[in-house]
Amino acid sequence: MAEQRVDEKTGTRTVGHEWDGIEELDTPMPRWWLYTFYATIIFALGYVVAYPAWPLVHDATRGVLGWSSRGEYAREVAAEGVRRSAVREELARIPIERLPENSKLFEAAVAGGASAFKVHCVQCHGSGAAGSKGYPNLNDDDWLWGGDLKMLVATITNGIRQPGNDATHVSMMPAFGRDQLLKSDEIEDVASYVRIVSGQEKPSASAQRGAALFATNCAVCHGANAKGSRELGAPNLTDKIWLYGGDRESLVQTITNSRGGVMPAWGTRLDPVTIKMLAAYVHSLGGGEAIVPQPSPSPTEAAPAPSANGKP
Amino acid sequence: MASPEDLIAPKPPQLFEARRKIFPKAVRGSYRNLKWAIMAVTLAIYYITPWLRWDRGPYAPDQAVLVDIANRRFFMFAIEIWPHEFYYVAGLLIMAAIGLFLVTSSVGRAWCGYACPQTVWTDLFLHVERLIDGDRNAQIRLQKAPLGPSKIAKRVTKHAIWLAIALLTGGAWVFYFADAPTLARYIVIGQGPTVAYATIALLTATTYVLGGLMREQFCIYACPWPRIQGAMLDEKSLLVTYKYWRGEPRTHGLKRAAPAARQPETDKGAAPMPGVPSLVALAANPELAPKIGDCIDCNACVAVCPTGIDIREGAQIGCITCGLCIDACDEVMDRLDRPRRLIGYSTIADEQAAGEGRAPEHPMKRLFRPRAIAYFLIWASIGLAMLFALGTRSRLDLSVSQNRNPVYVRLSDGSIRNTFTLKVRNMQSRPREVEVSIEGLPGGALWSEGGAREGAANSLRLSVPADKVTKLRLFVAAPSDGPPRSDLTFRVRALDAEGGEDTHQIHFERPETGR
Ligand code: SF4
Ligand code: SF4
C-alpha cells in the first residue's frame, strides 16, 4: 500500500491509492448518511424480532408477529377458494345443457376444466388432449360415444368399461382371431374391405370376400355401411381417424385380438362441478357437438344425472 | 485549507462530516431573471397540464394528458398509446436522454442549473425561506439566535409553507393518472383511492425533504447525473468559469484604491523595500506596477451560490452552472466600474486562449461541433421516425398466435385443422364492425369457437368494442394434401367508412406424411 498523506490543497487525507498520478481523497461522508445507516441497522434488528429470520437446527425463529410464508400461502389459497365458491355454486346449479348460454360461466368452466385436466387427464390424453395410439384425441370431431356436453359429463362420470358401474360405457369387440371366429385369411379379407370403405385401398377380390364376411360378422355393431354406432361405441370405419391405426397390420391385429380401451369413472373421485368444468373444457377444444334432443332414451341416459343435483 | 500542523501530524480522519449549512444570498441579474422565467414555465407546465381537456368522444377520457394505468392506456393530446406501442414512450425517453447529451455537450450543465426539478423546487423553497427569515445575514443571525418565540414562529411558518408547497406538488402528480376534476373532488371529500393518498404522502415527503432539507446535498451526494456529465463535458463545453488571468491576484478594495491615489509627493521618506519598486519608480515607469487583479475577494459569488461553493477554485462537481455567481460578480464589477463577466459562461479552451492572450473561439463554432451535430442528428432522426410511425400507424391491429398443443388435428373427413388465437385491437374510441378473413390457404375455411364447422367460410364478421382488445379463438381447416407448412395470412378489415386494416402472416401446419 502506498503511503498515506494529507492532500495539501484540501487538507483531506488520501487513502493511499494512486493511479496515473490521480490520488484518491479520503473525503468524509455526510453525517446524515451515517444516521441513515444506523436507521437501517435498527430496522434490521426490528425485522429479525418481528419476522422469522434466524435459522435453527430443525426450525427457525418464529418472529413475534407470527407471520410465515406458509401461513400466508394458506390464507391466499383459502381466500381464492372463497372467491371461486360463487362460480362453483353457480356451476353446480346450472344444468349442463344450459351452460353454453352463459358465456361468462362457460369461460370460467373452461378455465377450471383446463387445470383439472392437467391434473387428472393428461396421463392418458396428453397435455394438449391430443391423445396417442389407443387414447383418443379430444380435439377432433370423432366421438366413439358422443361429443355433446351431456354425453361428455356422462362419460367422464361413469368412465368406460368400468366393472361394477351400471352406467358405464360397455361393449366389447369379439377377438375374431384369438377366439377362432375367423380364419387368418378371412381376417385379411375383412381388413382389405375395411381399407376400401375408408378409402385407403383399391377394390380387390380379397375385399369382395371381406365384404361378405363384414356383413355377417361386423355389421351388427359397425353398421351395414360401416359408419359405426355411438350407442355401442363402435367406431366409424369410413372416416380418417384411427384410434389404433388404419394400416393393414394394425387392422389385422385389431380384428384378431379385439380392442377396448378403459377410462376411470371420475364420478367416484371428482365432484360434479369439476366434472362439468372438464366437460366444458373438452367441449371447447374444437370437436364439441351441440346437444341434439333425443326422442327415445339411450342406455346412457338411464344413468343418474350427476350434473343437476350433484352429490357433494 | 490545511494548516501546517495538519500537514506534519495529520489528525485521525473523520469518517463522517456534519452538514455545513449554507445560506445563499438573494441576487439580481440576467441569469436570475432567466431562472425566474424557467421556474415559472416549468412549474406552470407541471401544475396545469392535468387540467387541460381534450375531447375524445363518449368512449374515452377527455383529459389531454392521462396515464390510465387501470386500462393500460397513455393519452397525450391527439395521441393514444397502447401497451404494445410502448416503444413510443421508450423512444421519447431515448430522445430525452440524447437531448440531455446534446444540451450538455453544447451548453454544459444547463439542465442542472435551470430545469432540473431538484433545482427548481430548491429555488422555490429558498425564496420562501428568504421571505420568512430574511436574506443571508438575517438567516445566519437567526440560526445563531437562541430559541425564542419569534424564532419558533418563523421556523414553524417556514416549514408549514414548505410542507404546503410539498403537498401541492405531491398532489399535482396524481392528477396525471386519473380524471383530474373527479379525483380532486374525491380527494377533498376524503374518498380518494388509497394509492392516491399514499402517492401524495410519499411525494409530499420527498419534496419537503429533497427541496427543503437536502437541497445541494442531493446534487452532490445522491444524484448520478453530475458524475455522468463529467464524462460528457470536454474543454469545449460551456462552464461557469472564473477568469484567473483577469481576477488574480485578488485585491481588496482599499488596496486597490491605493495605486490610483499614487502620487510621487506622498512617497516622502518611505524606504524602498527590497524587491518592491518605490512609488517614485512606479510613477516613472508604470510597467513596474505589480499586477492587480479585478477580483476584490468580496466573496459575493460564494455567498449567492446555492451549492455553497467557491467558483474561483475552478470547475467542480458542486457547480450546477446556475449563473447566479455571474450576476453577483457583475454587480460588483459595475460598482468598481470594471468590465462585467469576471465570472462568466466560457469554455476551458477559451479560458486558456484568453490567458495566453489569444482570441476565444467563435461561439457558433463551439455550438456546431461534430459531437453536437452527431447528437442532434441521432435525436432528430429518432424524432422523425417516431412522427412517421405515429402518422402511419393503423388504429386497427391484429396479432395471431398459433396453438401449439397440438399443432394440428386431423378431422374425420381427413382434413387438417389448426387452432389460432387472434387479438383484434380496436384503438378507436368507438365500437367497430370488422371482418376477419384468411388468405393463401386453398380450400381453407375458418370458424370461431362456439361456431360450427358447417357454417365455415373464409371470413367472418365481428364487432369489437370501443378502445378494447377482442380475443378470439379461430379454427381453420384445410385439405390434408398440402405441404407440411404453408403460409397463411389473416386479415382484419374495418367495415365502416373510415376503413383500415391489418394483416398477420403465420403458418398452417400439416402432418409430414399426408396419410
Ligand atoms: S464576486 Fe467577483 S469580485 Fe467578488 S469575490 Fe467573487 S469573483 Fe471576486
Ligand atoms: S458556482 Fe456559480 S454557477 Fe456554480 S452553482 Fe454556484 S452560483 Fe451557480
More confident residue, B197 or A300: B197
Does residue A291 register a pLDDT over 90? no
CB A99 within 8 A of CB A106: yes
Report which secondary-structure segment, H or E, holds A67.
Answer: none
Where do the H-state alpha helices sit in B319-369? 324-336, 348-355, 363-367
Which residues of A are less than 8 Å from B16 in CB distance? Answer: 28-31, 33-34
10 Å Cβ neighbour count for B105? Answer: 22
Please indicate if any CB of chain B lies within 8 Å of the CB of A139.
yes
Q: Do B414 and A240 touch (CB under 8 A)?
A: yes
B298 ligand 1 Cβ < 6 A = yes
ipTM: 0.77
> In terms of CA atoms, which chain B residue is nearest residue A4?
B10
Does residue B161 register a pLDDT over 60? yes
Task: Establish whether the linkage from the previous residue to B249 is cis, with ω within 30° of 0.
Answer: yes
Which residues of A are less than 8 Å from B308 in CB distance? Answer: none
Does residue A254 register a pLDDT over 90? yes
Predicted pLDDT of residue B326: 95
Phi, psi of B68 (to 5 degrees): -95, 90
B305 ligand 1 Cβ < 6 A = no
Q: What's the mean pLDDT in A73-78?
A: 96
Does residue B488 register a pLDDT over 90? yes
> In terms of CA atoms, which chain A residue is nearest residue B411?
A140
More confident residue, B227 or A280: A280
Per-residue pLDDT tens over the stretch B492-514 = 999 988 888 899 999 999 998 74
Q: Do A6 and B414 touch (CB under 8 A)?
A: no
What is the position in ligand 1's atom list of the atom closest to the CA of B242?
7
Among B6, B452, B475, the residue with its CB nearest the CB of A11 is B6
Among B7, B15, B419, the residue with its CB nearest the CB of A28 is B15
Nearest ligand to the CA of B300 is 1
Query: How distant, in Å, are the alpha carbons of A118, A191, A280, B235, B259 from that of A84?
Result: 19, 52, 17, 68, 95
Predicted pLDDT of residue B171: 87
Predicted pLDDT of residue A25: 85
The SS3 of residue B493 is: strand
Output the 3-class SS for A145-168. CCCEHHHHHHHHHHCECCCCCCCC
More confident residue, A226 or B13: A226
Which residues of A are less than 8 Å from B216 in CB distance? Answer: none
The SS3 of residue B368 is: coil
10 Å Cβ neighbour count for B100? Answer: 19
- Residue the block writes with cell 355433446: A148
B343 ligand 1 Cβ < 6 A = yes
Percent of chain B topping pLDDT 70: 88
Rounded to the nearest angstrom, the distance between the alpha carbon of A150 and the centre of ligand 2 is: 82
Q: What percent helix, strand, coil does chain A show, rounded to 5?
A: 45, 10, 45
Q: What's the mean pLDDT in B48-55?
A: 93
What is the position in ligand 2's atom list of the atom closest to the CA of B324?
7
CB A149 within 8 A of CB A97: yes
d(CA B194, CA B173): 15
Rounded to the nearest angstrom, the distance between the alpha carbon of B305 and the centre of ligand 1 is: 12
Nearest ligand to the CA of B248 is 1
Predicted pLDDT of residue B6: 54
Residue type, A86: A
DSSP strand E in B411-513: where? Answer: 416-426, 432-439, 445-448, 459-464, 468-478, 485-494, 501-509
Nearest to B167 by CA among B131, B196, B127: B196
Per-residue pLDDT tens over the stretch B209-265 = 999 988 888 888 888 888 888 788 888 888 899 998 888 888 775 545 555 444 444
> In terms of CA atoms, which chain B residue is nearest residue A200?
B515
CB B476 within 8 A of CB B441: yes
Using CA positions, which residue lies closest to atom 3 of ligand 1?
Answer: B295
Does residue B434 register a pLDDT over 70? yes
10 Å Cβ neighbour count for B373? Answer: 13
Q: What percent helix, strand, coil does chain B show, rounded to 5?
A: 45, 20, 35
Angle at B37 between CA B31 and CA B43, to 5 degrees: 130
The pLDDT confidence band at residue B14, using thresholds 50, 70 and 90, is low
Q: What's the mean pLDDT in B62-83?
A: 89
Query: Which residues contact residue A179 at a Cβ distance below 8 angstroms, ignoring those fewer than 6 apart?
Result: none
B332 ligand 1 Cβ < 6 A = yes
**Residue A14 C-alpha, separation from nearest chain B C-alpha, in angstroms:** 10
Please indicate if any CB of chain B lies within 8 Å of the CB of A28.
yes
First vs last C-alpha separation in chain A: 78
What is the position in ligand 2's atom list of the atom closest to the CA of B343?
2
Predicted pLDDT of residue B457: 87
Query: Which residues contact residue A191 at a Cβ distance below 8 angstroms, ignoring those fewer than 6 apart?
Result: A210, A248, A251, A252, A255
DSSP strand E in B275-415: where? Answer: 343-346, 396-402, 409-410
d(CA A129, CA A146): 16
Which residues of A are less than 8 Å from B221 in CB distance? Answer: 29-30, 33
Mutation target among B15, B16, B421 for the A interface, most CBs of A within 10 A = B16
> In terms of CA atoms, which chain A residue is nearest residue B214?
A32
Count of all residues that appear for chain A in the document: 312
Predicted pLDDT of residue B11: 57
Please indicate if any CB of chain B lies within 8 Å of the CB of A293.
no
Which residues of B are less than 8 Å from A100 in CB distance? Answer: 450
Rounded to the nearest angstrom, the distance between the alpha carbon of B295 and the centre of ligand 1 is: 5
What is the position in ligand 2's atom list of the atom closest to the CA of B320?
5
10 Å Cβ neighbour count for B38? Answer: 17
Ligand 2 pocket check: which of B216, B311, B327 to mutate, most ligand atoms within 8 Å of Cβ? B311
Count of all residues that appear for chain B in the document: 515
CB B17 within 8 A of CB A30: yes
Where do the H-state alpha helices sit in chain A? 31-50, 69-93, 103-120, 122-125, 149-158, 184-197, 205-217, 219-222, 248-257, 272-284
d(CA B1, CA B11): 14
Q: Which residues pair with B501 in a beta bridge?
A: B493
Predicted pLDDT of residue B287: 61
Cell of A87: 362460480
Chain B: residues touching A (Cβ < 8 Å):
1-3, 6-7, 10, 13-19, 217, 221, 403-406, 409-414, 417, 419, 449-450, 452-453, 475, 480, 515
**Residue A154 C-alpha, separation from nearest chain B C-alpha, in angstroms:** 21
Please indicate if any CB of chain B lies within 8 Å of the CB of A192.
no
Does residue A303 register a pLDDT over 50? no
Q: Do B411 and A240 touch (CB under 8 A)?
A: yes
Q: How does the average pLDDT of chain B come out, rounded?
A: 86
Rounded to the nearest angstrom, the distance between the alpha carbon of B367 and the centre of ligand 1 is: 28
More confident residue, B450 or B181: B181
Q: What's the mean pLDDT in B410-424?
A: 93
Q: Do A142 and B412 touch (CB under 8 A)?
A: yes
Ligand 2 pocket check: which of B122, B299, B320 to mutate, most ligand atoms within 8 Å of Cβ? B320
More confident residue, B433 or B281: B433
Per-residue pLDDT tens over the stretch B360-396 = 877 777 778 888 899 999 999 999 999 999 888 888 8
d(CA B192, CA B141): 44
Which range has the worst mean pLDDT, A12-16, A146-150, B150-154, B467-471?
A12-16
Q: Do B405 and A8 touch (CB under 8 A)?
A: no
Query: How distant, in Å, are the alpha carbons of A73, A79, A106, A270, A309 from that of A82?
Result: 14, 5, 19, 19, 21
Among B10, B452, B453, the residue with its CB nearest the CB of A6 is B10
> In terms of CA atoms, which chain B residue is nearest residue A33?
B16
Which residues of B are less than 8 Å from A33 in CB distance? Answer: 16, 221
